[in-house]
Structure 1
């Protein structure tokens, strides 16, 4: 199963993606979590310390790796064909959550035809992860799916657009879903996150109804999540309403009762 998680900055997208990855691990599935955001911080959500997260060299910024994969004997000329399956074994970082983490780094418009070496490596690796790997792959994306490229997006099984009740967040999520509908992604849905009360829940429901979109999960506002984010202390998952909702979503996606 390949799941792309998108959404406007600040809606809790990365917490959701990391928590969903952990729930798949707890359900017994091998998971590769991909941080494809321009401001990567999925590592901390997956349980790594701030120092450990800082030590990770993103794939796009790993000059030695890019040179190894694309370099030739001719200046300004690089290879367009190369293997990437070994990158996962060498550079995927194990995390306390049980998921393996790959940080892609800042690569803009990967689907736009840019042919620079770093873009080529990341594009090939993303395609390999989504198309050829058997693990559950959770992709923490930026606001849209253009970074996947059309040839890769068609192999994603599920796109989840995370939003809170803010109108700007909802509009961004709706735009993401409209773009995704131009691909072959079979399941496209909203995740209502940080929902504090019935008024917010109703605002998301009405918006989704007007836009002909499905709300696949409602994750309640959880003060413990905010506290954990501020202090860096581990979240007590057993007492977290947000984690419980994400766990139920994972079961739904796996077809479990």
Structure 2
């Protein structure tokens, strides 16, 4: 199963993606979590320390790796065809959550004109992970799907767009869903996050109805999550209402596979 997670910055997208990865691990699935955000911090949600997270070199910034994959004997010329399967075994980082983590670094959108070696490696690796691997792959992405690229987006089975009740977040979510529908992703759903009361729930539901969007899950505001975010202390998953809701969503997603 290949799941992409998008959403406007600040809506809790990375917490959700990392927690979802953990729920699939607990259900017995091998999981590769991909941090494809330009400000990567998925490592912290997966249980790595700040020091361990800082030590990870993103694929796009790994000059030795990029040179080995794309280098030629000719200045200004690089290979367009190369294998990437070994990158996973060599560079995927095991995490306390049980998921393996790959940090991609900044990924240019298809059609943006970037043909540099680093982004060629990242695009090839993204496609390999989504199209050719058997593990559950969860991609923590920016507020859009363009950087999945042609030949990759249609192989993502599920797109989950995280939003809160803020109108700007909802508008961003609607735009992402529209792009996803055009790309051919089969299952697209809104995940409303940090819903504190009936008024916020009603606001999300009304917006979804007006824009023909499917609310696939609702995550309650959870003070334990907020506290863990402030202190950096591990979250007590067994006591978290948000984690419980994410676990229920994971069961629903497994039923769609």
- Give the TM-score normalised by the residue count of structure 2: 0.98
Asked if residue 120 in structure 1 is aligned to residue 120 in structure 2, the reply is yes
Gaps of 5+ in 1: none
Name the residue aligned to 2:16. 16
Name the residue aligned to 1:58. 58
1:88 match: secondary structure: helix
Structure 1 pair 47–237 and aligned structure 2 pair: CA distance change class (3 A)? same
Name the residue aligned to 2:183. 183
Shift of 1:151: 1.4
Alignment of 1:96-111 (within 5 A): 96-110=96-110
Q: Would the aligned equivalents of 2:3 and 2:138 in 1 still touch at CA under 8 Å?
A: yes
Shift of 1:180: 0.3
In structure 2, what is the Cα distance between the partners aligned to 1:143 and 1:135?
A: 24
1:105 match: secondary structure: coil
In structure 1, what is the Cα distance between the partners aligned to 2:85 and 2:173?
A: 32
Name the residue aligned to 1:174. 174
- Can you list the C-alpha shifts for 1:183-225, whole angstroms capped at 9, x where unaligned? 1210011000000001000000000000000000000000100
Shift of 1:95: 0.1
Shift of 1:110: 4.3
Structure 1 pair 111–24 and aligned structure 2 pair: CA distance change class (3 A)? farther
2:134 match: secondary structure: coil
Shift of 1:113: 4.8
Q: Would the aligned equivalents of 2:108 and 2:114 in 1 still touch at CA under 8 Å?
A: no
- Give the TM-score normalised by the residue count of structure 1: 0.98
Name the residue aligned to 1:33. 33
- Can you list the C-alpha shifts for 1:129-157, whole angstroms capped at 9, x where unaligned? 00000000000000000010121001000
In structure 1, what is the Cα distance between the partners aligned to 2:144 and 2:150?
A: 12
Gaps of 5+ in 2: none
In structure 2, what is the Cα distance between the partners aligned to 1:215 and 1:208?
A: 7
Shift of 1:114: 2.1
Q: Would the aligned equivalents of 2:35 and 2:104 in 1 still touch at CA under 8 Å?
A: yes
Shift of 1:85: 0.2
Asked if residue 149 in structure 1 is aligned to residue 149 in structure 2, the reply is yes
Structure 1 pair 228–111 and aligned structure 2 pair: CA distance change class (3 A)? farther
Aligned length: 256
In structure 2, what is the Cα distance between the partners aligned to 1:4 and 1:249?
A: 14
Q: Would the aligned equivalents of 2:33 and 2:139 in 1 still touch at CA under 8 Å?
A: yes
In structure 2, what is the Cα distance between the partners aligned to 1:30 and 1:111?
A: 33
2:142 match: secondary structure: coil
